[in-house]
A = this chain, B = another copy of it.
Amino acid sequence: MTEQRWYQRQLFALLLILSFALLSAVSARAQSDPLASWNAGPGKQAILDFVKKTTDSASPDYVPPAERIATFDNDGTLWVEHPMYTQLAFALDRVKALAPQHPEWKTTMPFKAVLDGDLKALAAAGEKGLLELVMASHAGMSTSEFEAIVKGWFAIAKHPRFKRPYTELAYRPMVELLHYLRDNGFKTYIVSGGGVEFMRPMTEAVYGIPPEQVIGSSIKTEYQVKAGKPVLMRLPAINFIDDKTGKPVGINMYIGRRPVAAFGNSDGDVQMLEWTGAGDGARLMMLVLHDDDQREYAYGPADGLPNSPFGTFSQATMDEAKQKGWVVISMKNDWGRIFAFDE
- Interface positions of A (Cβ within 8 A of B): 2-4, 7-8, 10-11, 14, 66, 69, 143, 187, 196-197, 200, 210-212, 214, 218, 221-223, 225, 229-230, 232, 239, 245-246, 248-249, 252-257, 271, 274-275, 278
Contacts and interface: CB of A to CB of B under 8 A. Distances in A.
- Grouping DSSP codes into helix (H, G, I), strand (E, B) and loop, the A interface class, with mixed when no group exceeds half, is helix
Nearest to A232: B252
Contacts of A66: 210
Given A212-B255, A232-B248, A249-B232, A271 B11 contact: no
A222 B196 contact: no
Contact of A254 (B212, B221, B278): B212
A320 to B, nearest CB: 12
A187 B89 CA distance: 35
Contacts of A218: 253
Contacts of A4: 2-4, 7
Given A218-B253, A230-B275, 19 more contacts: A2-B4, A3-B4, A7-B7, A7-B11, A11-B14, A196-B256, A211-B256, A211-B257, A212-B255, A212-B256, A221-B249, A221-B253, A223-B248, A223-B249, A223-B275, A230-B278, A232-B248, A239-B253, A254-B254
A272 to B, nearest CB: 10
Contacts of A252: 143, 221, 232
Contacts of A232: 248-249, 252
A154 B153 CA distance: 50
Contacts of A69: 212
Q: Which of A218, A225, A229, A246 has the most CB atoms of chain B within a 10 A radius of its CB?
A: A225
A233 to B, nearest CB: 10
Contact of A274 (B210, B214, B230): B230
Contacts of A278: 229-230
Contact of A200 (B3, B223, B256): B256
A218 B143 CA distance: 23
Contacts of A245: 222-223
Of all A-B residue pairs in the complex, the 10 with the closest CB atoms, nearest first, are: A211-B256, A7-B7, A223-B245, A4-B4, A212-B255, A200-B256, A230-B278, A223-B248, A230-B274, A230-B275
